[in-house]
Structure 1
């Protein structure tokens, strides 16, 4: 898979356009800055405390692209004629395997960008790209998981056409509370 994939989500009346592109080293400082947010820390499993953590996290995203099984995108507010801009979030397609009918999506939004539709718009673009890119390899559905008490993620799932499927039992330590499974199919 070519790591030069760049996706875009159009502007809305209340928010600028978004650019989704693979994570790169120039994102480390912004990643460290947004990762200081307590709400983001509550829901993410890989804490980023400093530049070294940020560099390791970005390198892990790059390894996923190279392996072709995890595609993480930095979500940026678009700057004219550029693939750079202010970091506002992350979306990821993971657990993608040829012949496997399902994969998982995930996302987070930086504190300063919450409430502007960043996650639903970025997730919609990622969803379209995933189905366009991997349907021929057997991808039929995308799964979105979140802890039951993460109401914001539940709203993002609903806004993005991911239907509630069922409650999943807790699986500590990585999933300490019951969760929700939402699904979106290629024909949705």
Structure 2
């Protein structure tokens, strides 16, 4: 089918992961400026036990840093090359919800059928199955949003709203392959990948200083 222009509006995207017997439901939504205080608190909590800094290069020390980081996530939507989501946990269907981490679809390059996924979950939210449920929701959305026929929705399906970014979608190929990369000593990410059917496909050599240790590449294909 011939590709046609369209756009993916952040306001129109809201992903959900059902509650389990031991954990509340999750909502995945694009980042908003109002998330800045909660984002700072997540980073501060993780910095106390060095949890987040081991796996991410993001530096969020105060609300100014958080605001800049959130704007970068919004710019990803605007360019159509990166789609970042806040992961919010809702207790018993109550209002508001608690920010627990993030997931992202990135390196979405025009003419390329593969992209990369990533995530991090706050230290205090781990052990409740948030990472695999959030990653599975993102995976399903990615394959559904960039389908085999690579058809994009009409602009009319996504009303304009200045509060939310939208992507003027380039001529993307259908996504058929998603990759998840992690440092080799991050065994928790290996387990998350396996739960979401991302098979171990390759081992990457260390590349200091950015990548001081070897890594794993896990792959999920559309027909897997």
For the residue of structure 1 that corresponds to 2:219, the secondary structure is strand
1:31 aligns to what?
39
Aligned residues between the structures? 187
1:170 aligns to what?
206
Deviations 1:78-111 (A, max 9, x none): 26375x4100110000000232011000000011
2:27 aligns to what?
19
1:66 aligns to what?
78
Task: Report the Cα distance in structure 2 between the residues aligned to 1:60 and 1:172, rounded to whole angstroms.
Answer: 25
Kept in 2, the 8 Å contact 1:99–1:139? The answer is no
Task: Report the Cα distance in structure 2 between the residues aligned to 1:8 and 1:115, rounded to whole angstroms.
Answer: 19
From the CA coordinates, give the structure whose radius of gyration is larger: 2
TM-score by length of 2: 0.81
Kept in 2, the 8 Å contact 1:98–1:138? The answer is no
For the residue of structure 2 that corresponds to 1:99, the secondary structure is coil
- The alignment's C-alpha RMSD in Å is 1.2
Identify the structure with bigger relative contact order (alpha carbons < 8 Å, sequence gap 6+).
Answer: 2
TM-score by length of 1: 0.95
1:10 aligns to what?
18
Deviations 1:34-70 (A, max 9, x none): 1120201211111111111111110000000111110
2:63 aligns to what?
51
For structure 2, the 5+ residue unaligned runs are 1-7, 151-172
Task: Report the Cα distance in structure 2 between the residues aligned to 1:177 and 1:154, rounded to whole angstroms.
Answer: 15
For structure 1, the 5+ residue unaligned runs are none
